[in-house]
Amino acid sequence: MDTATDAQNYIALLEVPEEKVAVLPGASADLTSVTFCIREEDHTLGNSLRWAIMQNPQVDFCGYSIPHPSEAKMNIRIQTTDQTNAVDAMDKGIDDLKSVCQLMKARLQQRLGQGDYARTS
């Protein structure tokens, strides 16, 4: 980890409260169709996570919504083929999104380290 801030961010990721994610009523018995409610999140995570989940060829549908602007929660619906389930697809999507973010950070740091960019005043 590069800085104390990185360490704090890492620790914050480890301390996800249990009530952060809930499975809403109506999930299929085989879990191929599930709606998750994620608290304290918005379009920033919703759209990125939806994109990452849809990269999985075993996912038939993934969409998210913010039920109401005054409520700090996001619902994300995942429907999969019989080859996997929505819980595993969510887990893979989170891992994939994390990998993309780590790659972007590494490439940004590499370019900034090269000093090959225009500075504006």
The amino acid sitting at 108 is L
Flag whether pLDDT at 17 surpasses 60: yes
121 found inside a domain: no
Q: Are 51 and 4 in contact (CB under 8 A)?
A: no
At residue 5, the 3 state secondary structure works out as helix
- Structural domain containing residue 92: 17-112
Q: Which residues contact 97 (CB under 8 A, 6 or more apart)?
A: 48, 49, 52
pLDDT mean over 80-97: 97
4 found inside a domain: no
7 found inside a domain: no
3 found inside a domain: no
- CATH number, domain containing residue 37: 3.30.1360.10
Flag whether pLDDT at 89 surpasses 70: yes
Band of the pLDDT at 119, cuts 50, 70, 90?
Answer: confident
Across all residues in the chain, what is the average pLDDT? 89
Measure the CA–CA gap between 90 and 84, rounded to whole angstroms. Answer: 11
The overall longest dimension of the chain from CA atoms, in Å, is: 59
Instruction: Please state the pTM of the whole predicted model.
Output: 0.80
DSSP letters along 28-89, please?
Answer: -TTSSEEEEEEET--HHHHHHHHHHHHTSTTEEEEEEE-S-TTS-EEEEEEEE-TTS-HHHH
Give me the pLDDT at residue 14, please: 59
- Chain centroid offset of residue 75 CA: 12
How many domains in the chain? 1
Q: What is the pLDDT of residues 35-49, one digit of tens each?
A: 999 999 999 999 999
